[in-house]
Structure 1
Amino acid sequence: MITTSDLRKVYRAHGRDTVALDGVDLHVRTGEVYGVVGTSGAGKSTLIRCVNLLERPSSGSVQVDGRELTSLSASELRATRRSIGMVFQHFNLLARRTVAENVQLPLELTGLTRRERAAKAAELLDLVGLADKARAYPAQLSGGQKQRVGIARALAGDPKVLLSDEATSALDPETTRSVLQLLRELNQQLGLTVLLITHEMDVIKSVCDSAALMRAGKVVESGTLNELLARPGSELARELFPLGGGTPVAGDEPLQGSTLVDITFQGDAAVQPFISQLARTYNVDVNIVGAAVETIGGRQVGRMRVALPGSFEENVVPIGYLREQGLQVEVAA
């Protein structure tokens, strides 16, 4: 649904060039929730604004629903943008308009009658759980309610794609969870493709199907969450699912002379007693250094760090046994 190829954006100011995007390749499949995560200055906001050409890229390709946006005329681009909704971090609601009037704003240039616009706004406000706030003004709403109005407004043109620019970063944790749940419900009910940017790993963990990590204007890693969790050495997987317990150091007697192994298990493997089976089969003492089970992308996933006595060479067979059980096993550095 969304594809960028070798996307570059360079800003020039005071005789100096600042590279915001440096050859970004991104592929978002139809119907998925795709998260782009990174620290401030990584290029996330520039990327999402280039997807609907609010920022025109310096070079590269942007395709949405099979159309190359960079080659469209101004009128063609305006028409295409109707199929791309956008939710902003700070809501961008007009203070002197009611909630319903804010939602109707994108419809005022579509040729719909006032009655048709009102009916559409009422339908969308009901969809986001704010049917009773139609006549309220933004100042009378909480932050979460304002963002729901912003989402309703973004849906006014019946878009196929919804872009979310740090939509939850100004909200408290409980409100963030409710807004993310709403985005997931809209994704499923309407078949929306959602591209969101965030600096919070919890957002990726709770709502996304796929993710990309950006740094210094580049995508350094990407994939579905399942692929990332199964990928040896994945930086995103480590950030999504951190484990306690590090490399043995002097004075750390229980771990001295041990091999640290990180184990990721999903699906049926999550309920198998593989640690006890390993200990019995090879008569090995397994020291569990850190472990956690969480729900990521709607699926239960577990990670465990264990210490096996002896060097790696002495543990080749036990490690091979774990891999034969369908587990992702990585020897920690």
Structure 2
Amino acid sequence: MITTTDLTKVYRSQGREVTALAGVDLHVREGEVYGVVGTSGAGKSTLIRCVNMLERPSSGTVTVDGLDLTALGGHEQRAGSALREARRRIGMVFQHFNLLASRTAQENVELPLEIIGLDRAQRRRKAAELLDLVGLADKARSYPSQLSGGQKQRVGIARALAGDPKVLLSDEATSALDPETTRSILKLLRDLNQQLGLTVLLITHEMDVIKSVCDSAALMRGGRVVESGELTDLLATPGSELARELFPLSEFGSGHPGRTVLEITFQGDTSARPFVSQLARTYQIDINILGAAVETIAGRMVGRMRVELSGSHQDNVVPIGFLREQGLQVDVLDAANGAVA
């Protein structure tokens, strides 16, 4: 649904060049919620603004629903009109809501409908339906100053849906909200994704947002995508940086020299199996559990456990093989620093 190929954005000012995007390749499948995460300055906001052509890339292509947006626009009137039409199919939710203070919630939602030329009755009917969809039917006549932060963002989401988009872009939509409100907005985005078949691309600096709502994710650093994929695949990938950020075990012990430390990841059906007790009984070995955690990620139960076995890695080749035969991901760690050996 969304594909960027070798996307580059260079800003030039006073003889200086700043590269915000450096050859970004991204693929978001139809109907999924895709998160892009990274620290400030990673290039996330520039990326999402290039996707809807609020920023024109310096080079590379952006394709949305099979249409190359970078081939549209410019000075030619017909091309510019085609770009405006394409943008109508892309909804955008902003961090700071961007509501007009002089308009009620309903009137804010009606604004894009006015621009495309719907008559007053059609605008009112459509805006009322959208406000009901986001749970704000009773706030239609309220002004932004009378709404909470979460309610303002719901109005912003309703406005973004006014053009019946296939794609919804979220630019740090929850970063200005408290944790409880954040959870409600993320649940709304997931519900809209499922009810309307929306493809959602969101950017965030919060790993909890990725964990709670996304199907796939990309990690950006220095204007580049350094890792990407489905969350379930990333969690099963040895050495995945995103997986370790999603499911950190840094607070757990790193074991003792001369012993074998394993990091075991389990998800889906394997999460219900008593593999630790089976391992201990089968091989008559002592197992020291250094730490464990279980969470729901991308709608699946996922767990990670760090355990310590007596003896060296070579001494434990057979028990490690037993665990892997159970469908578990097993990484052998260096006990000195907790890194994958």
Question: TM-score w.r.t. structure 2 length?
Answer: 0.95
Q: Is the 8 A contact 2:10 2:17 kept in 1?
A: yes
Match for 2:86: what amino acid?
A: T
**Which of 247, 252, 259 lines up with 1:245 in the alignment?**
252
Q: Which residue of 1 aligns with 2:312?
A: 311
Q: Which residue of 2 aligns with 1:91?
A: 97
Q: Which residue of 2 aligns with 1:118?
A: 124
Deviation at 1:246, TM superposition (A): 4.5
Q: Does 1:68 align with 2:68?
A: yes
User: Which region of structure 1 is more displaced relative to structure 2, 169-178 or 274-283?
Assistant: 274-283
CA deviations on 1:115-140 (whole Å, 9 max, x unpaired) are 10010000000000000111110000
1:259 and 1:18 map into 2 onto residues whose CA distance is: 47
- The 5 Å alignment of 1:1-333 reads 1-72=1-72, 73-243=79-249, 244-248=251-255, 255-332=256-333, 333=339
2:23 and 2:313 map into 1 onto residues whose CA distance is: 39
Aligned residues: 327
CA deviations on 1:285-304 (whole Å, 9 max, x unpaired) are 11111100101111111100
Deviation at 1:109, TM superposition (A): 2.0
1:37 and 1:309 map into 2 onto residues whose CA distance is: 39
SS in 2 for 1:304: strand
SS in 2 for 1:164: strand
Q: Which residue of 1 aligns with 2:75?
A: none
1:10 and 1:38 map into 2 onto residues whose CA distance is: 19
2:309 and 2:17 map into 1 onto residues whose CA distance is: 52
Task: Show structure 1 runs of 4+ deviating over 4 A.
Answer: none
Structure 2 unaligned spans of 5+: 73-78, 334-338
Q: Which residue of 2 aligns with 1:251?
A: none
Q: Is the 8 A contact 2:253 2:291 kept in 1?
A: no
SS in 2 for 1:169: coil
Deviation at 1:259, TM superposition (A): 1.3
2:307 and 2:65 map into 1 onto residues whose CA distance is: 46
SS in 1 for 2:35: strand
Question: TM-score w.r.t. structure 1 length?
Answer: 0.97
2:9 and 2:188 map into 1 onto residues whose CA distance is: 32
CA deviations on 1:158-216 (whole Å, 9 max, x unpaired) are 00000000000000000000000000000000000000000001000000000000000
Q: Is the 8 A contact 2:266 2:329 kept in 1?
A: yes
User: Which region of structure 1 is more displaced relative to structure 2, 44-53 or 278-287?
Assistant: 278-287
Deviation at 1:245, TM superposition (A): 2.4
SS in 1 for 2:173: coil
Match for 2:28: what amino acid?
A: V
Q: Is the 8 A contact 2:254 2:290 kept in 1?
A: no
Deviation at 1:284, TM superposition (A): 1.2
1:285 and 1:15 map into 2 onto residues whose CA distance is: 65
Match for 1:30: what amino acid?
A: E
